[in-house]
Amino acid sequence: MTYDKNNIFAKILRGELPCKKVYENDFVLAFYDINPQKKIHVIVIPKGEYIDLDHFIQNAKDIEIIEFNKAILNIVKKLKISSKDNGYRVLSNIGIDGGQEVPHLHYHIFGGQNIGKMVV
């Protein structure tokens, strides 16, 4: 599978579609999900062209992998849902069985309320 440059998150990264930005640095963009499933629902994406977590881990530079994960902590601190607050959940859907809809790697961050069962 090759990366689809016309996926929705690629368009958001290029500024062709709007987003409600939460956090940005040289490697990462985070924005509110358009259809939130919980009180806080944020999408975190790397700026590089990676389809999913497997593709990312196999192809990204170490700095990209490190910065992507470090960004999570900065984002949850900013949202006041870190482990020092009430906590949160990180989830990434991968492939068909994972239910991935947008083929650009993303983590979902859920918080702001009790998230409930791990999988529904």
Query: With CB under 6 A as the contact rule, which of the stretches 26-34, 62-70, 76-84, 112-120 interacts with ligand 5GP?
Result: 26-34
- Cβ atoms of residues 50 and 60 within 8 Å: yes
Residue written as token pair 């690629």: 10
Catalytic residue positions, numbered = 106
Which residue among 6, 14, 15, 35 contacts ligand 5GP (CB under 6 A)? 35
* Residue (62 or 99) nearer to ligand 5GP, CB: 99
Query: With CB under 6 A as the contact rule, which of the stretches 27-35, 47-55, 60-68, 77-85 interacts with ligand 5GP?
Result: 27-35
Interface positions, 85-114, toward ligand 5GP (CB under 6 A): 93, 99-102
* Residue (12 or 81) nearer to ligand 5GP, CB: 12
* Structure-block tokens of residue 39: 């009180």
- Residue 19 as a binder of ligand 5GP (CB under 6 A): the answer is yes
Q: Which residues make Cβ contacts (< 8 Å) with residue 76, sequence separation at least 6?
A: 82, 85, 88, 109, 111
Closest CA to 104 of 57, 55, 35, 64: 55
Which phi and psi angles does 64 have, rounded to 5°? -70, -40
* Residue (48 or 61) nearer to ligand 5GP, CB: 48
Q: Could you give the 3-state DSSP secondary structure of residue 68?
A: helix
Distance CA 23, CA 26 (A): 11
Binding site for ligand 5GP (CB under 6 A): 8, 17, 19, 31, 33-35, 43, 93, 99-102
